[in-house]
Homo-oligomer: A and B are copies of this chain.
Amino acid sequence: MPSITVENYVKQIYLAGQQQQPTGGQVSMGRLAAAVGVVPGTVTTMVKALVADGLVDYEPRGGVTLTRDGERLALHVLRRHRLVELLLVRVLGLDWSEVHAEAEVLEHAVSDKVLERIDALLGSPTVDPHGDPIPSAKGKVDGTRRHSLAECTVGRPLRVARVTDQDPAFLQFIDRCGLVPGAAVTVEGRDASADAVLVRPDGRRAVTLGGAAAEKVLVEG
């Protein structure tokens, strides 16, 4: 069985590879070190172990990419993480802003049997409380690319699909604004010079978001 450490490295490689589409999925050692929270030297060491386990391909001074096995493991960890988050919100009543940290630990402690019970109890959901897609048991993920509030059409009724930041303070702010996944919104205006976006959640006070915040709120519709 992969250790908790290995699961975390593989998960972070996957997530980092998702964010930066530019490079061919190759994740730099520095980026990975930051994501995992260790010094770069540690990553060099660990990556060699991951190569030996057949989970990643590694090009010295280039970066790492997941092998098929590595990606399968990453998606399995992510499935556990996201189903656990949803369980914590829907069944145990935790706030969506706090479940990420809890799931970060629980994702390494949930067996396949328990995982599939959670999935069944929740009705095989496709997204977690943040709108992040839940990989299927077979390792398929919804790879839909969505526009953020920073780049979507102005004036058209949209729906918040996903919030791509796990910081509890940010999520609570999003909550207060009424920009949670599922909420109807319209972008009323955008000011490039001011790096600002004026957003109106349906039936709520309009909010001005800076570009960085707007980019974290993905919409559909």
Q: Which of B94, B109, B111, B117 contacts A113 (CB 8 A)?
A: B94
Residue of B with least CB distance to A121: B92
Known: A91-B91, A108-B109, A109-B109. A102 touches B114 (CB 8 A): yes
Minimum Cβ distance to chain B for residue A2 (Å): 14
Per-residue interface assignment for chain A, residues 104 to 137, with 1 indicating a CB less than 8 Å from any chain B CB and 0 otherwise: 0110111101100110010000000000000000
With a cutoff of 8 Å between Cβ atoms, the chain B residues found around residue A27 in the complex are none
Q: Which of B88, B102, B106, B121 contacts A91 (CB 8 A)?
A: B121
- Tell me whether A98 is interfacial, beta carbon within 8 Å: yes
Query: In the complex the two chains form, is B106's CB within 8 Å of A92's CB?
Result: no
Report which residue of A91, A92, A105 has the largest number of chain B beta carbons within 10 angstroms of its beta carbon: A92
Query: In the complex the two chains form, is B105's CB within 8 Å of A117's CB?
Result: no
With a cutoff of 8 Å between Cβ atoms, the chain B residues found around residue A109 in the complex are 105-106, 108-109
A 60-94 contacts with B by CB, 8 A: 88, 91-94
Query: In the complex the two chains form, is A94's CB within 8 Å of B106's CB?
Result: no
Query: In the complex the two chains form, is A113's CB within 8 Å of B102's CB?
Result: yes
Report which residue of A93, A105, A114, A118 has the largest number of chain B beta carbons within 10 angstroms of its beta carbon: A114
Residue of B with least CB distance to A110: B106
A92 to B94, CA, bound (A): 17
Interface residues of A (CB under 8 A from B): 88, 91-94, 98, 102, 105-106, 108-111, 113-114, 117-118, 121
- 20 A-B residue pairs with CB within 8 Å: A88-B114, A88-B117, A91-B91, A92-B114, A92-B117, A92-B118, A92-B121, A93-B121, A94-B114, A94-B117, A98-B113, A102-B111, A102-B113, A105-B111, A106-B106, A106-B109, A106-B110, A106-B114, A108-B109, A109-B109
